[in-house]
Structure 1
Amino acid sequence: MINTSAPALTVWYNTRCPVCDAGISRQKRRLIGAVKAGRIAFRDINLEPAALAAHGASLENIRRRLHAIDADGNLLVGADVAIAIWRLMPGEGWLASLAGNPLLLPATRFAYDRFADLLYAWNRRKGRW
């Protein structure tokens, strides 16, 4: 049976970043059932650079941080995407609950954003654009 409904989560990421690509590849393997069932989709932003333009996200925004669209059409960015993926990943719901806890969420977002900034700068220095 072919799934004709939109995935619960569509994640756009930068395959030119070796760290991002390896991380998403790991998640794809762990979520193979959800991917095959159409509950989650992973898309290379380099193949669809204007995919999230209607949401105000540029190619550079998406190269800097993960972006996703949930089943309700809401844009998720950065740590919120990681938390949404963990919610779908078997055995990692506890991590989503911890990192997404209202008291810890600001620290989670801060840590994610600083790591993303460093990774983005590293990729730019290496000419991965």
Structure 2
Amino acid sequence: MSGQRLVVWYNTRCPVCDAGIDWQRNKLLSAVRAGDIEFRDINEQPDALAHYGVSLNDVRRRLHATDETGRLIVGADVAIAIWRLTKGEGWLASLFGNRAMLPLTRFAYDRFADVLFAWNRRKGRW
């Protein structure tokens, strides 16, 4: 690790989100143990990001994270930050996070997140 610290906030009540983060956390086990990355359930601390103007439903809709400087990162940019920290997945960060692809990556992520959020709402996963 490069001394980076990333705190990722996600929704454990969404089975897709929970499974994805669980899978990623297992790939980053040494970084988690070292404290370089932490995954937190927004449902346990619903007001955790309120000082950023972020609501509980904002995090239920899209991943949110803070970096070592306290900067807020949202959506596809969180996935890219996680890929950068994950051994063997830097190529994903390079591919989807480059200047040419990033607008498309963010658009695709946001549309998927909107659909997933609506699905979770219909299923009553609050």
Q: Across the two proteins, how many residue pairs are aligned to each other?
A: 124
8 Å Cα contact 1:14-1:20 kept in structure 2? yes
Cα separation, 2, equivalents of 1:80 and 1:19: 18
* Equivalence for 1:44: 41
Deviations 1:31-56 (A, max 9, x none): 00000000000000000000000011
Q: Which runs of 5+ in 2 are unaligned?
A: none
One-letter amino acid matched to 1:54: H
One-letter amino acid matched to 1:30: K
Deviation at 1:109, TM superposition (A): 0.1
Cα separation, 2, equivalents of 1:14 and 1:7: 23
Return the match for 2:83 from 75, 83, 86. 86
Cα separation, 2, equivalents of 1:97 and 1:7: 18
Q: Is 1:96 matched with 2:88? A: no
One-letter amino acid matched to 2:29: I
Runs of 4+ with >3 A deviation: none
Deviation at 1:73, TM superposition (A): 0.8
Q: Percent identity?
A: 70
Cα separation, 1, equivalents of 2:95 and 2:48: 31
TM-score by length of 2: 0.97
Deviations 1:90-121 (A, max 9, x none): 10001001111001000000000000000000
Cα separation, 1, equivalents of 2:72 and 2:53: 10
RMSD over aligned Cα atoms: 1.1
Q: Which runs of 5+ in 1 are unaligned?
A: 1-5
